[in-house]
Amino acid sequence: MRQVIELRDVHKSFGTTKIIHGVNLAIGAGERHAIIGPNGAGKSTLYNLISGRFPLSAGQVLLNGEDITGLKPHEINRRGLSRSFQVTNIFHNLSVYENIRCGVLWSAGCGYSFWHRVGGLAEVRRRAEQTMERIGLARRRDVLAGTLTYAEQRALEIGITIAGGASVVLLDEPTAGMSRTETAQAIELVRQVTEGKTLVMVEHDMGVVFGLADRISVLVYGEVIATGTPEEIRANPAVQEAYLGALHKETAHA
Amino acid sequence: MRYQPLNLGRWVLWSATAIVFVVAPLMFTESFALTLLIQMGTMIIFALSYNMLLGQGGMLSFGHAVYSGLGAYITVHALNLVGKGAFYIPVPLLPLVGGLAGLVFGVLFGYVTTRRAGTTFAMISLGIGEMVYACVLMFPGFFGGEAGISTNRVVGQPYLGLSFGPAIQVYYLVALWCFVCIAAMFALTQTPLGRMANAVRDNPERAEFVGYNTQHVRFLQLALSAFFAGVAGGLSCINFEIVSAENVSAIRSGGVLLATFIGGVPFFFGPILGAVVFIFFVVALSGFTKAWLLYLGLFFLVMVLYAPGGIASLLLMQIPVIRARRFGELAAPYVAAFAAALLALAGLIGIVEMVYRLSEQGARTELALLGFAFDARDLAPWIAFGAILAAGLAALRRATRWLGARWSSIQQDLLARQP
């Protein structure tokens, strides 16, 4: 299978604190890959390294075989990788439609144009409206994003991420802070909108992870201790010891 | 073709704007009014160009006069060269020279300033403003030092009877440029760059992750804004026939910030209102009283504290109330608040004017307000104006409470009606 994302011996330290040490990871085209791990394992940091938000301390990141190490976030996005954020990161003072449209503009080839009227760009409008339809916010088109409900903002977060039609989508805890029903809806949304794309997802909800992912990587203290299919991960004693066991204990206590 | 009900309203609005520009000098025929109108037109372009940075791009600049001022300097040299017959540019097109000069300096300085947003941007813009001001004084050969460079806008033969000598011709030149620039700057807000400038203002990080280089967005926005600032500079050069160091000074940069904020940063048309009010303060009020800057400062302070969205937000707030046909309920408290504010203002003006007369060496201390003659050295007027101010403030407090109560009950009803 063709490798879409490849991490080669990636390291990241903040000052003297080592957050990621020596992560190797390969994710194939069309794969739904989940990254799990206890709090503080470095999952979000790993995302920030892949998407260019933070520079790497050492190692290499490849996207579709090309080295993207050290590129700026917008450069990585233009190469077809789009990400969402764990803490909702939207344009609060713009309407839902405008939020989505911001996600569409670059990929529709508008660039920094100041000679096109944005309302007259039929392709941009069509794609933005289609995306709003898909995330179920079409009725909220002209509402300011800052006034949406939390679940709606999370859906918008995913909408902005997929609006540009990126082939690789990184979602950082799309169900964070959601109720059971909201989570189920959000996961259905994720399943639909990432059809035919490569999906990487950080998720805490084990039910979700094992239901959705083709393969799972377990990140513990900045290292990938196991990668495999859901069955392999479930059966892996190291994972049970390091992570699932701890989690089971937590749930048992709760 | 989609049915766009907005289009009709838009046509009406733009036509009305054009009509105001045409009719304004016919309504106010004194030469002083014309001076005022010309400067308002220039200031409108300048303030709108400033809001391309502050309102639309989230860039707080303390050095915007650099672009209008340098645009004015280049225009004054171009005009002098045209006068000497070195080359020919028709006078109506000279603001374009100013605009291009503004653009060039916008590209030059913008490359440095827009590398960062937020406070850093503000600080660098302040630094560049001071640097340019110092340079202008350092090279009197080109910039004319403190005295500046003067010119004569009447060059060559009149074309179609237009020599641009009479002020009314200058007015229509400014009005035409003003209208075109308003339309152009509005059009820019509707382009991909204009929309992404809003996005970068709101959330620069996310803008990066949808494929946009925020630095590049800010840079282009600033360069375009500097173009329009340069046009405003060119027009002021034609109007005043002199350009001096004051044109690039921090005072001008501060002035445009004041005007824009008073008008309303969040709205496209806000700076238009702000420019009109600002020029009224600077030009009209300064003819009446030496304390005009104090009044402007107080007005600015009141706006920042009580109406951070500017005059435009105060006007737009009324629209839903008018739509719901509830404005009648507010009329009485509005009138009361207005009357109370006038009363307080009268007391304040009396005291401020007396302070100014007393503080000034050798000034006459007798003055007259609204037909009342008094002497600032007497105690009685101080007590009287103090009492008027106190009564006005007390009345204003009651009136605003009354207004606030009615306002919030209307707002609650409006909210309750929403689905």
**What pLDDT digit, counting tens, does each position of A19-41 carry?**
999 999 999 999 999 999 888 88
Provide the chain A residues 32-51 that lie in CB contact (below 8 A) with chain B: 51
Rounded to 5 degrees, φ, ψ at B267 are -120, 145
Q: Cα angle vertex B95, ends B90, B171, to 5°?
A: 85
Pairing between strand A58-63 and A198-202?
Answer: unpaired
pLDDT at A237: 87
Q: Is B339 in the same domain as B232?
A: no
Q: Is B117 in the same domain as B255?
A: yes
Q: Is B224 in the same domain as B267?
A: yes
The number of C-alpha atoms within 13 Å of A17 and in the hemisphere containing its C-beta is 7
Which residues of chain B fall short of a pLDDT of 70? 1-6, 418-419
Percent of chain A whose predicted confidence (pLDDT) is above 90: 72
Q: How far apart are CA A124 and CA B222, in angstroms?
A: 25
The alpha-carbon gap from A231 to the nearest alpha carbon of chain B, in Å, equals 34
Contact criterion met (CB < 8 Å) for B199 and A91: yes
Q: How far apart are CA B155 and CA B125, in angstroms?
A: 36
Q: How far apart are CA B147 and CA B140, in angstroms?
A: 9
CATH code for position B83: 1.10.3470
Contact criterion met (CB < 8 Å) for A73 and B209: yes
User: Which of A73, A112, A115 lies nearest to residue B217, judging by beta carbons?
Assistant: A112
Q: Is B289 in the same domain as B336?
A: no
> Edge-to-edge strand order for the sheet containing A66-67?
A17-28, A3-14, A58-63, A66-67
Q: Is B285 in the same domain as B362?
A: no
Q: Across residues A103-117, what is the average pLDDT?
A: 94
Q: Which fold has domain A1-80+204-254?
A: Rossmann fold (3.40.50)
Q: Is B63 in the same domain as B130?
A: yes
Q: Is B290 in the same domain as B328?
A: no
User: Is the four-CA dihedral A198, A202, A205, A210 of positive or negative sign?
Assistant: positive
B304 found inside a domain: no
Contact criterion met (CB < 8 Å) for B190 and A118: yes
- CA-based nearest residue to B21, from B127, B152, B176: B176
pLDDT at A108 over 70: yes
User: Which of B188, B205, B210 lies nearest to residue A102, judging by beta carbons?
Assistant: B210
Q: Is B237 in the same domain as B111?
A: yes
- Closest residue of A to B218, CA-based? A112
Contact criterion met (CB < 8 Å) for B203 and A78: no
Number of domains in chain B: 2
Q: Tokens 């964070």 — which residue?
A: A176
Q: Is B290 in the same domain as B363?
A: no
Q: Tokens 């990636």 — which residue?
A: A10
Residue B375: which region, alpha, beta or left (left: phi > 0; alpha: psi -120 to 50)? beta
pLDDT range class, residue A104, cuts 50, 70, 90: very high
pLDDT at B3: 46
Tell me the residue range of the domain where B328 lies. 324-417
User: Which of A101, A102, A116 lies nearest to residue B191, judging by beta carbons?
Assistant: A116
pLDDT at A249: 54
Contact criterion met (CB < 8 Å) for A114 and B194: yes
pLDDT range class, residue A243, cuts 50, 70, 90: low
pLDDT range class, residue A217, cuts 50, 70, 90: very high
Q: Is B288 in the same domain as B329?
A: no
DSSP classification of residue A59: E
Q: Is B194 in the same domain as B261?
A: yes
Identify whether the C-beta of residue A173 lies closer than 8 Å to the C-beta of residue A202. yes
**What pLDDT digit, counting tens, does each position of A164-191 carry?**
999 999 999 998 888 888 888 889 999 9
B257 found inside a domain: yes
- Give how far Cα B323 sits from Cα of B77, B192, B320, B332, Å: 53, 32, 5, 18
Q: Is B73 in the same domain as B160?
A: yes
pLDDT range class, residue A244, cuts 50, 70, 90: low
Taking the domains of chain A in order of start, what are their residue ranges? 1-80+204-254
Pairing between strand A58-63 and A3-14?
Answer: antiparallel
Q: What are the structure tokens assigned to B22, written together?
A: 């045409």
User: Is the four-CA dihedral A193, A194, A195, A196 of positive or negative sign?
Assistant: positive
Contacts of residue B363, defined as CB under 8 A and 6 or more positions apart, other chains included, come to: B356, B357
B183 found inside a domain: yes
pLDDT at B349: 92
**Residue ranges in B114-213 assigned as alpha helix (H):** 118-138, 140-143, 167-189, 192-202, 204-209
pLDDT at A1 over 70: no
Which residues does residue A10 pair with via DSSP β-bridges, in sequence order? A23
Contacts of residue A35, defined as CB under 8 A and 6 or more positions apart, other chains included, come to: A43, A46, A200, A201, A202, A203, A216, A217, A218, A219
DSSP 3-state assignment of A154?
helix
User: Which of B191, B209, B214 lies nearest to residue A118, judging by beta carbons?
Assistant: B191
Positions of E strands within chain A: 3-14, 17-28, 32-36, 58-63, 66-67, 81-83, 168-172, 198-202, 215-220, 223-228
